[in-house]
Amino acid sequence: MIQVGIIGTGFIGPAHIEAIRRLGFVEVVALCDADLADAQQKARQLGVPHAYASVEALLAHPGLQVVHNCTPNHLHAEINRQILRAGKHLFSEKPLCMTAEEARELVALAEQAKVVHGVSFVYRQFAMVQQAASLRRSGRLGRLFSVYGSYLQDWMLLETDYNWRVDAAIGGPSRAVADIGSHWCDTLQFVTGRRITQVMADLSIVWPTRKASRGAATFTSTQQAAEVEDKTVTTEDAGSVLVRFDDGSKGCFSVSQVSAGRKNRLSFEVNGSECSLGWDQEVPQQLWIGHRQQPNQILTDDPGLMSPDVAASAHFPGGHIEGWPDAFKNMMLNFYRAVQDGKMPARDEARFASFYDGASVMFIIDAILQSHQQQKWMTVAC
C-alpha cells in the first residue's frame, strides 16, 4: 500500500481522502492541520490513524511516500517547497502557488527532486472531456477554429457572502479567474492540445464592500451571525477574457461567482473544420457533437461507445451517471499509477495535470490580471 499524508482538513481535504480510498492500493495514514486538536478530531471522523500540527512532523511520519497539499492558496508555495525538499511525491491543490515566479521555482524544485508531481485540475478527468480530447487527437475535429465557454457560479452573489478567498492576502490577487477560470483554461488547453499565448481581459467587482460574518464557509448560500463587519474587496467577482492560441485560433470565456442559479457550470464549445464539440459540467455524461451536413449527435459516457483510448475513464455501463467524485477518482488513479511507476510520464502522455500545467495556468492568470490593469493584449509568459 502506498502511504499518504494530507495537509489541510477543510472542504477539499476530505474529497481527496474519499477519492484516494476508492483506488484500493493507497492508504491515508496521517492528517495535518495547524491546530492539533482540530487535526485529531478530523482524523477520528475520517478514520485516519495519525494527526499532526506541523508539516515537519507529518513529513517525518515513518513510511510516508506521498503528500497532498490541501491548504488555502497563500500556503501552497511554501508547503510545496517543504514537501519537495523532503523528497516526497506531491499532489497540490490549485493554484500551484500565488505568483508566476513561485511557479517557475516549484517546477525547478520538482524536477530536481525527481518525484511525481500533480495539480488538482479535475475537469479534464471527466469521461466526456477525455472523449473530446480523443476526438481531437484522432483528427475528427479537424483544424481548430475557435473556442467559447464559461465557468459560472452563484455562491458569492449576495453582499453578505464572504469567504477567505475574497481576501487577496490569503486567496491571491485574483479570485474568480484564479479559482474557477484556471479550471477552464486547463480544461481547454487539454482538449485542444493548444497553448493560450495571449489574453485581453475585462474584470469586474460587483460588491466593492462585502459584509462579512464570522465563520463564513465555502459554498454556503446564507450567512447568519451576530457580528458583521465591512470588508473591502479587491478581487474580481466576474470577468470576460479574449484568448489567442499558439496555432492562431482564437476564443473567449467568461467567469462569474455572482450568476444567480448557476451552481458550478463549467461549459465549453470547440469549433473545428470537421465538427464542433460541446460539454457542460452540470450535465457531465453528455458530449454534444455538432455537424454541418448531417444530424448533430449527443454521445453519452458509455464505455462501449467511447474511443478505445479513453473508454476506461467511464467506470460503469451506459446510463449509470458519473460526476465530479468520479472525475476526482480518475485524477487520483492516473496520478498514483505514476507513483507506482516511480516517475513522471512523458509530458505529452500524462493523463493528469502536472506542475508544468499548474505553472502554465499561473502564467495565464498573471497575464489576465496585467491585461485588465493595463487594458491591452498581454502575452502569456513561458
HEC secondary structure over 12-57: HHHHHHHHHHCCCCEEEEEEECCCHHHHHHHHHHHCCCEEECCHHH
Residue 153 has a pLDDT of: 98
Round to whole Å and give the CA distance between 237 and 259. Answer: 10
Which residues span the domain enclosing 86? 2-119
Output the CA–CA distances (angstroms, integers) from residue 7 to 2, 82, 129, 167, 272, in the order listed. Answer: 17, 12, 29, 21, 42
Of 332, 326, 234, nearest to 284 by C-alpha is 326
User: What's the grid cell of residue 14?
Assistant: 476530505
Helices (H) and strands (E) in the chain, counts: 11, 17
Query: Do 86 and 140 share a structural domain?
Result: no
Residue 223 has a pLDDT of: 47
Please, which pLDDT band fits residue 218 given cuts at 50, 70 and 90?
Answer: low
Query: Do 102 and 171 share a structural domain?
Result: no
Please, which pLDDT band fits residue 129 given cuts at 50, 70 and 90?
Answer: very high
Q: Confirm whether 329 is domain-assigned.
A: no
Q: Confirm whether 340 is domain-assigned.
A: no
Query: Do 179 and 132 share a structural domain?
Result: yes
Residue 49 φ then ψ, to 5°: -75, -25
Query: Do 183 and 66 share a structural domain?
Result: no
CB-count burial class (<10 Å; 0-12, 13-18, 19+) for 47: exposed
Q: Name residue 275's amino acid.
A: C
Residue 238 has a pLDDT of: 98
Q: Which of 119, 146, 172 is the last residue of a domain?
A: 119
Residue 382 has a pLDDT of: 83
When pLDDT is averaged across residues 31-55 and rounded to a whole number, the result is 96
* CA angle 108–349–27, rounded 5-degree value: 75
Name the percent of the chain lying above pLDDT 90. Answer: 90
Please, which pLDDT band fits residue 208 given cuts at 50, 70 and 90?
Answer: very high
How is the beta sheet containing 286-290 ordered, strand by strand?
297-300, 286-290, 276-280, 265-272, 144-152, 250-256, 238-245, 196-204, 378-379
Q: Is the pLDDT of residue 43 over 90?
A: yes
When pLDDT is averaged across residues 105-129 and rounded to a whole number, the result is 98
Please report the DSSP string for 74-126 in residue order.
Answer: GGHHHHHHHHHHTT-EEEEPSSS-SSHHHHHHHHHHHHHHT--EEE---GGGS
Q: Confirm whether 309 is domain-assigned.
A: yes
Query: Do 147 and 235 share a structural domain?
Result: yes
Q: Confirm whether 334 is domain-assigned.
A: no
CB-count burial class (<10 Å; 0-12, 13-18, 19+) for 139: exposed
Output the CA–CA distances (angstroms, integers) from residue 99 to 55, 299, 366, in the order listed. Answer: 22, 39, 7
Query: Do 261 and 148 share a structural domain?
Result: yes
Query: Do 261 and 149 share a structural domain?
Result: yes
Q: Tens of pLDDT along 282-294?
A: 999 999 999 999 9
Residue 263 has a pLDDT of: 96
Looking at every residue in the chain, the average pLDDT score rounds to: 95
Query: Do 114 and 77 share a structural domain?
Result: yes
Q: Is the pLDDT of residue 220 over 60?
A: no
Please, which pLDDT band fits residue 213 given cuts at 50, 70 and 90?
Answer: confident
Q: Which of 64, 96, 119 is the last residue of a domain?
A: 119
Residue 120 has a pLDDT of: 97
Q: Confirm whether 327 is domain-assigned.
A: no
Q: Name residue 311's amino acid.
A: A
Round to whole Å and give the CA distance between 13 and 17. Answer: 6
When pLDDT is averaged across residues 140-169 and rounded to a whole number, the result is 96
Query: Do 209 and 300 share a structural domain?
Result: yes
When pLDDT is averaged across residues 203-224 and rounded to a whole number, the result is 74
Looking up residue 217, the CATH number of its domain turns out to be 3.30.360.10
Q: Confirm whether 266 is domain-assigned.
A: yes
User: What's the grid cell of residue 1?
Assistant: 500500500
Which of the 8 DSSP states describes residue 312?
G
Q: Which of 119, 147, 169 is the last residue of a domain?
A: 119
Q: Confirm whether 59 is domain-assigned.
A: yes
Query: Do 286 and 238 share a structural domain?
Result: yes
Q: Tens of pLDDT along 341-359?
A: 999 999 888 899 999 999 9
Round to whole Å and give the CA distance between 259 and 340. Answer: 42
Q: Tens of pLDDT along 233-245?
A: 999 999 999 999 9
Name the percent of the chain lying above pLDDT 70. Answer: 97
Query: Do 74 and 200 share a structural domain?
Result: no
Global pTM reads 0.93
Please, which pLDDT band fits residue 270 given cuts at 50, 70 and 90?
Answer: very high
Q: Confirm whether 308 is domain-assigned.
A: yes
Residues 6+ apart with CB under 8 A from 306: 127, 131, 134, 299, 313, 314
Residue 215 has a pLDDT of: 56
* CA angle 132–197–167, rounded 5-degree value: 90
Looking up residue 109, the CATH number of its domain turns out to be 3.40.50.720
When pLDDT is averaged across residues 148-157 and rounded to a whole number, the result is 98
Query: Do 134 and 49 share a structural domain?
Result: no
Q: Tens of pLDDT along 89-113?
A: 999 999 999 999 999 999 999 999 9
Q: Is the pLDDT of residue 274 over 60?
A: yes
End-to-end CA distance of the chain: give it in Å, rounded: 38
Please, which pLDDT band fits residue 368 given cuts at 50, 70 and 90?
Answer: very high
Q: Is the pLDDT of residue 219 over 90?
A: no
Q: Tens of pLDDT along 167-182?
A: 988 989 999 999 999 9
Residue 92 φ then ψ, to 5°: -110, 140
Number of structural domains in the chain: 2
